[in-house]
Amino acid sequence: MRRLLLALPIALLPFTAAHAHDDHDHDHAHGTLGAHEHGVAKLNAVLDGNTLELELDSPAMNLVGFEHAATSDADKAKVSAVRQQLEQPLKLFGLAASAGCVEDAQELESPLFGDAAKDDDGDEHEHGHQHSDINAHYQLNCSAPGKLAQIDLAPLFKAFPATQKINVQLIGPNGQKGLETSPAKAMVAF
C-alpha cells in the first residue's frame, strides 16, 4: 500500500529544503518532516492512476486531546471514538462523489491504540512526558480519477478542532506541490 507514499519524501525534498528555511518552529534535532508540533498535522496525498493514497500523521493531542496512555474509562472511550472516526476516511476527506472513490485498505497506528511506539514517536516533551502520534494510511480506488480535482479537508478540521494546520505534500496528475491548510483554507487542488 505504501509504494506510492514511499516516493513522496524523496520527490518533495526540494520543497522541504526550501520550506525548512522559512519554518522557525521545526525541531532541529529531527528535521522538518520529523517535527512534533501540537495543532499541526501532516498529510501526504498521491493520486496515481485510479489509486489515491492518503497518509495522515498527527500528534495524538490534536485528535484525542492527550498523549499519555489511556488508563481511565473516559480516556479509553475517547481513544476508541477517535479510532472509529479514523476508520471512516470518506467522512474525513471530502472527495467528489463523481470520482467514485472507495476504500481498498487502511492502516491505523499509534501507541494509544496499543501499537509499539516508533523511535520518532517516543520523543520526550520538555515537560518530561512522551509524545504520541497517530498515523493513518488509506488506499482508495477511484473509478473516475479524472473527476477528482481536489480534496476538502474541512471535515477533518471539523472532526478534530484542535488541529489548526495541516501541511500537505501532494503528487497528482498536475505534478507535485506542498502547501499549508487551515480550517479557513481547507481545499487542496490536484
- If pLDDT is split at 50, 70 and 90, which confidence band does 127 have? very low
Task: Report how far residue 52's alpha carbon sits from residue 180's, in angstroms, rounded to the nearest whole number.
Answer: 20
Instruction: Give the model's pLDDT for residue 30.
Output: 32
Decide if 129 is inside a domain: no
Task: Report how far residue 177's alpha carbon sits from residue 103's, in angstroms, rounded to the nearest whole number.
Answer: 24
Query: What would the pLDDT profile of 41-77 be if each residue is shown by its tens digit?
Result: 999 999 999 999 999 999 999 999 998 999 999 999 9
Decide if 77 is inside a domain: yes
How many alpha carbons lie under 13 Å from residue 142 in its C-beta half-sphere?
23
Decide if 118 is inside a domain: no
- If pLDDT is split at 50, 70 and 90, which confidence band does 124 have? very low
How many alpha carbons lie under 13 Å from residue 167 in its C-beta half-sphere?
22
Number of domains in the chain: 1
Decide if 169 is inside a domain: no
Instruction: Give the model's pLDDT for residue 35.
Output: 57
- What rounded mean pLDDT belongs to the chain? 82
Domain that holds residue 59: 1-21+43-113+134-144+155-163
pLDDT over 50 at 22, yes or no: no
- Looking at the chain, the whole-number percentage of residues with pLDDT higher than 90 is 68
Chain-centroid distance of CA 138 in Å reads 10
Decide if 127 is inside a domain: no
Decide if 88 is inside a domain: yes
Instruction: Give the model's pLDDT for residue 28.
Output: 33
b/e map 78-91, b = 16+ CB within 10 Å: bbeebbebbeebee
Instruction: Give the model's pLDDT for residue 156.
Output: 98
Decide if 57 is inside a domain: yes
Query: What would the pLDDT profile of 84-123 be if each residue is shown by its tens digit?
Result: 999 999 999 999 999 999 999 999 999 999 875 444 444 4
pLDDT over 50 at 20, yes or no: no
Backbone angles phi and psi of 101, in degrees to 5? -85, 130
Q: What is the pTM of this model?
A: 0.78
